[in-house]
Structure 1
Amino acid sequence: MDVDRTDRAAVGRYGEELVARMLEGAGWVVVDRNWRGTGGELDLVALDGRELVVIEVKTRTGLGYGHPSEAVTPRKLARLRRLAGEWLAGRAAETVPERPTSVRVDVVGVLLEKGRPPQVDHLVGVL
């Protein structure tokens, strides 16, 4: 891992890039990154076949505050749902070639513990 573990923004960017590469390697198409809407940001928006997936990536360097996925609270999920609707209303036509069959929200927790390979936990369809 080639990232400054004391720089939270760098750790977050590293986790998002790792997840984007992982998804693309699995055949997904990342259509948007770090999209800012009213009241928040969507880390990744991707197509899993014809299903549109909004992906929240949480990256941590240890378990002192719990598993990274635990940081995604019901309040955060509600915000992601609102942002997904906003993204669909404003960006979908210009970034998605054909209308998605469905939309879901996934959470990916990335744990970057010193001396270990990154641990990636993908929670599918949390909302």
Structure 2
Amino acid sequence: MAIHNDLGRRGEQLAKTHLENTGYEVIDENWCYGKAEVDLIAYKDRTIIFIEVKARTGTGFGEPEDFVDLRKQKLLAKAADEYIYLMNHQGEVRFDIIAILFTSETVYRLNHIEDAFWPKPE
């Protein structure tokens, strides 16, 4: 297994734990629709939150959250539309990013960015 896959899985597990410890209910993990994969889908205060998790070991190319580009945002929006339709969700929707920067094997900084973006129409 590639090292970046292990890092991604560790990041997603840390993000899930963070969400659960702060009152979110994680209702889905790694949900796929078409070419999009939503890392975590959570629910809190009658809002469905679609969460992209980005984990990195350095900032040489930017902060982890910088890697959620417009293309990724559009893919997440399409997946979210389908999920909302399937679940017949009538409440609010939000897109968050959880950025995790590892400085060593056991030391990391987690940044939960709420309402990080709203996908623009095509």
TM-score (norm 2): 0.88
Moved over 4 A (4+): none
Q: 1:80 and 2:70 equivalent?
A: no
Letter in 2 for 1:114: S
**107, 112, 115: which one pairs with 1:117?**
107
Q: Match of 1:101?
A: 91
Distance 1:77-1:12 versus aligned 2 partners, 3 A rule: same
Distance 2:61 2:32 in 1: 26
Distance 2:3 2:61 in 1: 17
CA RMSD of aligned residues (A): 1.8
How far apart are residue 51 of structure 1 and its match? 0.6
SS at match of 1:13: helix
Distance 2:4 2:114 in 1: 25
SS at match of 1:66: coil
Distance 2:82 2:14 in 1: 26
Distance 1:7 1:115 in 2: 12
How far apart are residue 101 of structure 1 and its match? 2.0
How far apart are residue 100 of structure 1 and its match? 5.0
Contact 1:15 1:110 in 2 (8 A): yes
Distance 1:79 1:27 in 2: 27
Distance 1:111 1:43 in 2: 17
Corresponding residue pairs, total: 117
Contact 1:109 1:122 in 2 (8 A): yes
Structure 2: which 5+ residue stretches go unaligned? none
Letter in 2 for 1:117: V
How far apart are residue 115 of structure 1 and its match? 6.4
TM-score (norm 1): 0.84
Q: 1:19 and 2:7 equivalent?
A: no
Identity across the alignment (%): 32
Distance 1:34-1:115 versus aligned 2 partners, 3 A rule: closer
Distance 2:54 2:23 in 1: 22
Structure 1: which 5+ residue stretches go unaligned? 94-98
SS at match of 1:63: coil
